[in-house]
Amino acid sequence: MAERRTIGQILMSFGRITEEDVEKALEHQQEAGGYFGESLLALGFVTPEELEWGLASQFDLPYVFPDPDSIDPEAAALVSPEWALANLTLPIMKTERVLTVVVDSPIKTQAVDVLQARTDLTIELALASSSRIRELIRQVYARAAAQDPGERPSPASLSEVFSMALDATSKRFGISTRGHRAWAWYEDGGRTCRRPLEGLWNSELQELVSPAPNDEIGDALRATWSGHVNRDGMITPIEVQFLADESGSEYLFRPIEAFAQLQERFPPPAAGILSEIRLLARSGSARFLVVTDPVELGHDILPHLPTLMLDSSWRSIYLTDPESRAANHAFSVELPMSEDDWAAELDSIRGFHFDVVTVDLPGDPEKWLQSALDIAAIAFVRWTGEAETRIAHEAGIRWELKIEAQEGDRLEWSLEPLHG
């Protein structure tokens, strides 16, 4: 049996690195530890894609670029989106005896062993970049959640679609008409959702939007105005644009509520991270440790994470102590001064069945963490370096959300599995 070539030998054979690069990378590995490939990356000798391709060659695995449409839904359904994201491992094809799984590392044996034990199938590996796998997971499971099996979407009322759009904190949504057909659309986590509209949609539009569109448009083919949507007393300021010709018309609605000001104050993460957090929230496995740099950023942003990450329809509560400044525009509860009284207070709050809890409490988290997490299935807990992450992991928190302030009022976000 031929001896397996090293990653260095493979990359050298294709002219990607030199012997001198190998020597420098080995020196770096001795000083910093870790894998040889990590040293190549740290020194900038190769790109992540080149390293992954080299690893695929080393282990005689295919290096793939799968398209979401090519993923076998039955294979993907074997694991939850949370498990797939946490392990960066996605089943992509299933036959009677073989399950093909795409991973970001050929030495990721633990996740593969779990799949093999769970399915009793032979596992064949394919390699892809971690960024590509993340994108696949987001698209595959978002598509599965949005599908209406076996049918085209049924017609919806305009008020129903408006509620979906505003609950998803969509930055824009609209109505399109062509002849006698009318449908509404809205953006949700990077994808566009569409629903055909019921026949009385225009009457609903005049009641939902003020000023009434018919009064603003008249006989014009173009119009722009500011107004608001009234959903049973819930007022959302919007900007409206209208276009029309002989074939149909287009309405475009852009919310201009306080959410836009909130986004300006706290620039949200990239669409990918946002989609992953929403995917985890929908799966019911969304408990996040929030670590910020500087620490003060955590006090300011934590109460607003449900609005920034999810949407305004999710009922959230912000828990803090009397010495911290209560959050503006976020439903807040200050716990009593004495930690001995917190258990009873948290127990009374649990009865309200909130969707989301954000927790910013001092002291020893072992005394209050589990009680706070019991308030809601979705939780964002501010964490400092003073407490061990082991405590959070034992309490059921599986994700770490890092937010770092950058120059120019930018924020750098990252989402990674939390290891105990």
- Report the alpha-carbon distance of residue 173 to residue 213 in Å, rounded: 15
Same domain, 297 and 232: no
pLDDT at 62: 65
Which residues, 6+ apart, have CB-to-CB distance to 340 below 8 Å? none
Least confident of 27-31, 139-143, 258-262, 282-286: 258-262
Would strands 98-103 and 122-127 be described as parallel, antiparallel, or unpaired? parallel
Joined together, the tokens standing for residue 137 give 């997971």
Give dist(CA 79, CA 50) in Å, integer. 29
**CA separation for the pair 31, 50 (Å, rounded):** 23
d(CA 184, CA 173) in angstroms, rounded, equals 8
Tens digit of pLDDT for each residue in 186-199?
A: 887 656 788 999 88
Please tell me whether residues 366 and 395 are part of one structural domain.
yes
The residue out of 146, 180, 208 marking a domain boundary is 146
pLDDT reading at 148 higher than 50: no
Whether 300 and 313 have beta carbons less than 8 Å apart is answered as no
pLDDT digits (tens, 9 = 90+) for 395-407: 889 999 999 999 8
Q: Is 1 part of any domain?
A: no
Long-range Cβ contact pairs of 43-46 (< 8 A, separation 24 or more): 45/16, 45/17, 45/21, 46/11, 46/16, 46/17
How far apart are the C-alpha atoms of 322 and 389, rounded to whole Å? 25
Both tokens of 389, joined, read: 């992450």
Q: Is residue 152 part of a domain?
A: no
Q: What CATH number does the domain containing 117 carry?
A: 3.30.300.160
**One domain, residues 72 and 170:** no
**At 142, phi and psi to the nearest 5?**
-65, -40
Are 41 and 77 part of one and the same domain? no
The answer on 294 and 240 residing in a single domain is: no
Of 327 and 83, the structure prediction assigns the larger pLDDT to: 83
Indicate if 172 and 100 belong to the same structural domain: no
In a domain, 63, yes or no: no
Which of 316, 287, 296, 271 has its CA nearest to residue 404? Answer: 296
Mean pLDDT of the region 190-210 = 88
d(CA 315, CA 376): 10
Residues 301 and 380 in one domain: yes
Give me the chain's average pLDDT, please.
Answer: 83
Say yes or no: 273 and 252 in one domain: no
Question: Exposed, middle or buried by CB within 10 Å (0-12, 13-18, 19+), for 408?
Answer: exposed
Q: What are phi and psi of 207, to 5 degrees?
A: -85, -35
Euclidean distance between the first and the last CA atom of the chain, given in angstroms as a whole number: 40
Res. 309: pLDDT tops 60: yes
Q: Which amino acid is at 209?
A: V
**Residue that finishes a domain, picked among 197, 231, 256:** 256
Name the residue with tokens 């946002």. 274
- Is the omega angle on the peptide bond into residue 294 within 30 degrees of 0, that is, cis? yes
**Contacts of residue 68, Cβ cutoff 8 Å, sequence gap at least 6:** 136, 139, 140, 143
Q: Which residue has the tokens 């399950």?
A: 99
Q: Tell me which residue range forms the domain holding 39.
A: 7-58
For residues 135 and 269, state if they share a domain: no
| Structural Rg of the chain based on CA atoms | 26
Residue 402 is assigned to a structural domain of this protein: yes
Please state the separation of Cα 111 from the chain's center in Å. 22
In this structure, are 170 and 303 located in the same domain?
no
Q: Is the peptide bond before 153 cis (omega within 30 degrees of 0)?
A: no
Span 10-17, average pLDDT: 76
Is the confidence at residue 105, as pLDDT, over 70? yes
248, 174 Cβ separation under 8 angstroms: no
Instruction: Give the whole-number percent of the chain exceeding pLDDT 90.
Output: 22
How many whole angstroms separate alpha carbon 299 and alpha carbon 320?
9
* Residue with more model confidence, 373 or 38: 373
Total domains in the chain come to: 4
Position 1 scores a pLDDT of: 40
The structure tokens listed for 393 are 């992991």
**Residue carrying structure tokens 């706070």:** 372
Higher pLDDT, 150 or 209: 209
Q: Average pLDDT for residues 207-221, to the nearest whole number?
A: 93
Give alpha helix (H) positions in 222-287.
258-265, 271-283
Query: CA-CA distance, 364 to 38, in Å (whole number)?
Result: 36
Mean pLDDT of all residues in 318-323: 81
Let me know: does 344 contact 329? Beta carbons within 8 Å.
Answer: no
Confidence of residue 292 (pLDDT cuts 50, 70, 90): very high
Q: What is the pLDDT of residues 53-81, one digit of tens each?
A: 777 666 666 666 677 777 888 888 888 88
Torsion of CA 317, 322, 327, 331, to 10 degrees: 30
Residues 211 and 93 in one domain: no
More confident residue, 70 or 3: 70
Per-residue pLDDT band at 14 (split at 50, 70, 90) = low
- Among 112, 146, 180, identify where a domain stops: 146
Mean pLDDT of 277-293: 86
Give the global pTM. Answer: 0.60
CATH of the domain at 166: 3.30.450.90
Check whether 164 has a pLDDT greater than 50: yes
Residue 173 in domain: yes
Whether residue 153 lies inside any domain: the answer is no
Contact in structure between 356 and 265 (CB atoms under 8 Å): no
Tens-place pLDDT, residues 22-50: 889 889 888 888 778 788 888 888 877 77
What is the tally of helices (H) and strands (E) in the chain? 18, 17
- Whether 372 is covered by a domain: the verdict is yes
Residues 245 and 292 in one domain: no
Q: How far is CA 290 from CA 134, 379, 401, 404, in A?
A: 21, 10, 5, 11
- CATH number, residue 361: 3.40.50.300
Question: Domain for residue 151, yes or no?
Answer: no
pLDDT band for 257, please (50, 70, 90 cuts): low
